[in-house]
Structure formats: C-alpha cells, structure tokens
Amino acid sequence: MATGTSAKSVSKNKKNKKRKERGLLANILLSILIVILMTIVIVGICMLGYVFSFVNGDIAINLDSYKNSQSQTSIIYAMDDKNKPYEIARLHGEENRIWVDLDKIPKEVQNAFICLEDKRFYNHSGVDWIRTVKAVLTLGKSGGGSTITQQLIKNLTDENQATVSRKFNEILYALNLEKNYDKSEIVEAYLNTIPLGSGCYGVQTAAQKYFGKDVSELNAAEAASIASITKAPTYYNPLLNPENNKKRQETCLWNMWDQGKLSDEEYKSSLDYKLILTNSSEYVPSESVQNSAPKKDSEIYSYYVDFVIDQVIKDLVSTYGYTKNEAWKMVYYGGLKIYSCVDEKVQNAAEEVYVNRINFPYESEGRTETGENGTKKKIQSAVTIMNYEGQVVAIVGGAGEKKTNRSLNRAADSPRSPGSSIKPLSAYAPAVEKGYINYSSMIQDYAIVVGGQRWPQNFSGSKGSPGHYVTTQYAVCHSLNTTAARVVQKLTPEVSMDFLINKFHLSTLVTDGAYTDCNLSSLAVGGMTYGVTSLEMTAAYATFGNGGKYYKPYSYTKVTDYQGKNVLLENNAVPEQAISPETATIMNRVMQTVVISGTGAGNGCTGFTTYMKTGTTSDTKDKWAAGGTPYYCAAVWVGYDIQEHINAGSHNPAAIVWQAVMDRVHKGLPKKDFDYAKTVVARTYCTSSGLLAGANCGGRATGYYASNKIPGTCTRCSAAPAADSESED
C-alpha cells in the first residue's frame, strides 16, 4: 500500500513539477523576450541618439584643416628682375592638386557639376532621400544616389567599398557636414578635391591638364566636359576617350539648360563649341597658363630644383623633428610654396656649359678614358655659383644631360680633395689675418723637414733652395707648395684647422683619429681624407669678394603653406666676419694675379676683375678653380666619379670651365668693381726685399697693405740696380 500511495504521490509530484517547470520555462522565455525587446528599444534609442548626436554634434570632418593639410601640389618659385615670384617647378607625386577659392571658380563650372551630379544640392540637407530610396529599390541600377556632399565625404575619407555600413556612415557624415558648413563651403571643397582623371584632383589642375587654361577661363562647354569626367575618370577622360566625354558633355549641357542654368542661346552655342584639348594640334596655351605653365609630369627638374628640395627636407627635419619621410611627404604633397634663390639666367648659363660635354677640355680633345673593365668613363664636374649675400644662385651637379630627378648632386654632396685651392683658406688668409705675412712678405721657397725628409716639392718638381725667397703674391700666383708648408708650419696645423672649420665653415674635414686632416699634408697641399664640396668652397671663397663676411649658403628665402599665411621655414642672411675686410681685400688682390700671370692665366671672367685660385691634387685626380668677380663667386671641380688620373693639358680644366660658365653668366652685365676695404692702400714695393721700394730698388711692383701695417722702406738695394730682381706681374 505504502508503495502504492507513495507511487501516486510521486506521480502527482511529477505532474506538479512538470507544471511548475513549464511555468518556469514560460517565465524565462517571457523574461528573455522582454529583455530582447527592451534591448531592441534601448539599442534603437541609443542608435537614434547616436545618429542625432552625431549629426548635430561636433564637426566630424573639418574642411578647414583638410584644406590646409590635404594632398596638394607644392610650387617652387624664382624671383624676376622686379623681385616678383614666378613658378619654376610644381612638385607632386601621383596626385596633382591646386586649391582655388570658390569666387575664382566660374558659375558655369559650379553649375555643370551640380546640374549633372546633384540637381537638388541647394535644397537637401546632405542626403537626397528620393534618390537614396530609388537607389535602394533598384539595387543601385538607377545610379549611386550620392549627393555632392556624400561624394565629398567619400573623397575625403578614401572609403570606397560599397557596403551598407559604409553607406550608413557616409550618410551620417554628410548630415553632420551640412549642419556645420554652408553650401558654398561644401561645393568649394568638392570642386577642389574631386578626382578628374590623369592624376588631377580638383577643377584647377583639370582645367590646366585638359584645356591648358586657368579654371577662371573655362566656358560652359569646357566646364561640362570636365564635369563629365566625374562618373568614370578613365572612361570619360577627354584626352583618352574624347567620344565618350563628348556624349556625356552633351548630357551635362542639356541638364544645365533643363535646370535653367543655360539660356536656349547659350545651350546651342555650347553644343556647337569645338573643344580644343591640350593634345590637339590647334591647341595654344592661354597667356595665364604660359606664364605659370604646369610642367610636364615627366619633367626632369634642374639640379637647382633638386637642391632646394633637399634643403627644405633637411630643414623641415631639423626644425620640426619630422622624420625624413614625413618631410618628404610635406614637400611633395603639402602644397608648400617654396621661394628659391635661383637666378634662372645664371642657372641656365651654367647648364648650357655643363650639358654639352664638348665644353669639358678633356672631352673636347676627343679622348675617352677606358676603365679597367673596358668601360668608357666620362669626366665629371660640378659648379656652385653664389652672390655675396649667401644666396646660391645656380648649382650644377654633373656634366652631360641630366636624366633623373634627385640624382647625385656632386656640387653639394660629393666632397673631393681641394688640392692647392685650399691654400688661401688654410695658409695665406690666416697668416695675413695674424699679421705674419703681407702682400709682399718674403717666404722661403724651400721644402721643410718632415720625418727626416724634405717635403713637399713644387709642381715643377723642385724642392726650392735655402736661399730662395719669394713674395706672398708670387707664392700664391704660382701655387708653390714649399711656401704653403712653411706658412702652415708657422701657423700650426691646429690654427689652420680652426680657420677652415670655424671661420670658413668647411664641414667635411676629419678632425681627429687616424685619418685626421689636421696635418701639414692636408692643410698645405690639400690632400684630404674626404675633401670639400664645391658648395662649401664657394661660400668660403665668397669672403674674399665681400670684405671677409661668411654667409651660410642658402637656396630659399622662405617656405609657406599653400595660402602663404604661415611661414614654415625662413632664411635670413646673417653674416659672420670670418676675416677682416683688410685681409679679404689683400687676398683678393693677391689672387687677381693668378688669372694674369699665374696658374689660371687667361681664365679670368672676360671684362671683369677676377680673383681665383686653382687646385690640383698631387696625384692629379681632382682639379679645382675657385674664385669670384664683383658679381658672383663660384667653385668648379673636375674629375672622375671613381678617382682616376686626369690627362688634362697644361691648363687646369676646372679653370677653363670656370671661365666658360662665368663669361656666359656675365654677358651684358654692367661694369662693376669690388668693394675694397678703404683701409687698404696701394704701394710700390721692391721685388727683391718685399719692402716698400726705395730710391735705388730695381724691380718694382704694386702691392696692397693695411694702412696700419705698411712695411718699411727697402735699404738693401745699392745704387746699382740689383741684378737678380724680377718683376712679378
């Protein structure tokens, strides 16, 4: 029984339990349902809240900062005779953009885009719901349904995949943009960023690319042609597919007429207007474009443009701490305006000489050196030309045709041993400055003892003799090595180095260790570990032409953002008095004799006073000529990229090139003389004693002396003229 009762009660209990469980399940399900419903409601509210707060919230895309930072074409300018800037190069990578304000974009251009792409633009608030619904219902077959605002978002965010969430975000961004900007700001940004084929972004570069006009010069027919590209930049590209473009251009014109933006008359004449594209034989560029011609995409820039780009990148890195890559991006995509110091007249003159290898003496003799592996080697060369206020006005970094952009610039980046051209900087100017020597001081022409040996020998092979003395002028004019060694020995190598590094700012010298340049051999005859660059030699030599002032060489005056409002980089010429005006004038006068009777005889600039020092390394692998006229200073290097003996004739080939360049540069310039120090006076000196000439002195010449350091009068010469006297000039 008990079991029966218990069995019954068990079954009852089971039933109760089942009912209970069922109730519990229902409760759980109901709870879950409620939770789900509540979640949906909450999410929905949140979503709406998100949409609402996003659309009405802070600016999601800032058009102003975009305008300032977007990928834009940088422009390099030069200055004309009236100090007005004009373009010499446009820099862009794959993209070519120039921002123009809306008031510079004709109504026809604005209307062409609006009528074709978004006729309700001025009425919707970012999204054209009619078109959007149509697009959704027809699965996009009726067109993208994107408004100009949405297209702008797409162009600014680079989001291009056709996904639902992308579309949703684009709508939110568009609504937000319209809340924060007025229609004119939106259409301006749109017209300046829209991709228009052939690497063009925005209507200005497209106007120049396709019609060779400034955007302000476009008519309705041309505007419609450009607006037509938008739909498919390659298919409708007027240069590549003119028929496709023409068909859509007609559609665009019809839309403009239909929407009341063209009169019947204008519509008809625009349809009939013959489009003349830049690849047409009838094409003539408009005056505005001729004056600021966008250069061909494939253009090889000059060495100067390369040089200024390098400088700006370096300076952006050092001033703002950018990485080299960031600085590079800024220069090519940052819409910078770079005001360079190039003087195109000078640059072109130098290039004319350099592009033609026949101007290189070695080449003109018809000989070609054959290298070890049988390859024909070409002699190379570099030149820098500066004015006397630190501006690099021209630079050429190689001989022959320039074939690539940012190729090796030997003038700025390849230090080479200066040979004897170092002597005025390392020996004679410091010794004049210290008061050790003057214009006509007698210096012993006799090799010194180094390591138990007499060293060095002169170019003639002679080591001089104990009793042979020459004047400073003679020693420089004929580039004696013995005298230079004696002068550096007297100065000490340390003092000589100090002048080179701290006064003349040669940055490529080795200052310590096993390969230091701080020794007699480097400093007296210029056989250096790395050497010096043409650029730094020019800046150092300029001190002899401008009264002793050193200016750090610079290639641009300023760099601004695209609006010209913010100056990012600036160069102000601030001179340092490297040597006294008296020393500068005396050295200038001494070196004038080099082109009259010395190692550069006949290689002065025709018609202009010239100071110069030539240089040949003792192994004859590097040839130099550095010097100046009253207008410009220049340093020329000639040699092989992989050092090799140069079989040049008796004349220094660098001096010949220096003259060829400077003669062209100075063609037509008015006469001018150096601004010599007033405290330097001319006196007649005795060529056998170097003292001022007395009544009995035979050999006489004119020397130049600081008025407070005039030498005494010669009393050595007897009444009978000295037999061994010789005239120096």
* Interaction site with Zn ion (CB under 5 A): 686, 689, 697, 714, 717
In this complex, which beta carbon is closest to Zn ion, that of residue 545 or of residue 698?
A: 698
In 3D space, the residue among 122, 126, 118 whose CA is nearest the CA of residue 176 turns out to be 126
Nearest distance from C-beta of residue 692 to Zn ion, angstroms? 9
Least CB distance from residue 375 to Zn ion, whole Å? Answer: 58
* Nearest Cα to Cα of residue 396 among 578, 290, 535, 528: 535
Q: What is the helix (H) or strand (E) element at residue 548, kind and residue range?
A: none
Helices then strands, each counted (H, E), the chain? 27, 22
Q: Which residues pair with 469 in a beta bridge?
A: 444
Least gap, CB of 694 to Zn ion (angstroms)? 6
Residue length, the chain? 729
Peptide bond into 456 cis (omega under 30): yes
Closest contact distance (angstroms) between CB of 585 and Zn ion is 24
Closer residue to Zn ion, CB minimum distance, 386 or 686: 686
Between residues 633 and 697, which has the closer beta carbon with respect to Zn ion? 697
Residue 600: which residues within 8 A CB-CB, separation 6 or more?
Answer: 594, 612, 613, 614, 625, 627, 652, 655, 658
State which residue, 384 or 689, has the beta carbon closest to Zn ion: 689
Residue 379 vs 691, nearer CB to Zn ion = 691
- The rounded distance, in Å, linking the Cα atoms of 497 and 227 is 66
Residue 684 CB, nearest approach to Zn ion (Å): 11
Report the residue number, 8 or 716, with the smaller CB distance to Zn ion. Answer: 716
The smaller minimum CB distance to Zn ion, of residues 77 and 705, is found at 705
Question: Minimal CA–CA distance to 523: which of 457, 424, 413?
Answer: 424
CB of 485 or CB of 686, closer to Zn ion: 686
**Cβ-based nearer residue to Zn ion, 186 or 717:** 717
Q: How far is the CB of 716 from Zn ion (least distance, A)?
A: 5
- Nearest Cα residue to 638 out of 614, 618, 662, 664: 614
The 10 Å Cβ neighbour count of residue 141 is 8
Please give the order of strands across the beta sheet that includes 633-639: 392-396, 380-386, 633-639, 622-628, 611-616
- Nearest CB to Zn ion, comparing residues 205 and 689: 689
Q: Which of 639, 632, 591 is nearest to 614 (CA)?
A: 591
- Give least dist CB 469 to Zn ion, A: 13
Contacts of residue 638, Cβ cutoff 8 Å, sequence gap at least 6 = 360, 362, 379, 380, 381, 622, 623, 624, 646, 648, 653, 654, 657
Q: In 194-277, which residue ranges form alpha helices assigned H by DSSP?
A: 203-211, 220-229, 242-258, 264-272
DSSP conformation letters of 278-332 = TTSTT----HHHHHTPPPPTTPPPPHHHHHHHHHHHHHHHHHH---HHHHHHHHH
Q: Quick one: 304 or 469, whose CB is closer to Zn ion?
A: 469
Cα within 13 Å of Cα(164), Cβ side: 2
What's the closest the beta carbon of residue 444 comes to Zn ion, in angstroms? Answer: 18
Quote the least distance from Cβ 440 to Zn ion, whole Å: 11
Residue 695 CB, shortest distance to Zn ion, in Å, is 10
The token pair at 588 is 């200038």
Residue nearest to Zn ion (CB): 686
- Whether the CA torsion 343, 349, 354, 360 is positive or negative: it is negative
CB 438 within 8 A of CB 703: yes
Cβ at position 483, least distance to Zn ion in Å: 20
Tell me how far the alpha carbon of residue 520 is from its chain's centroid.
Answer: 38
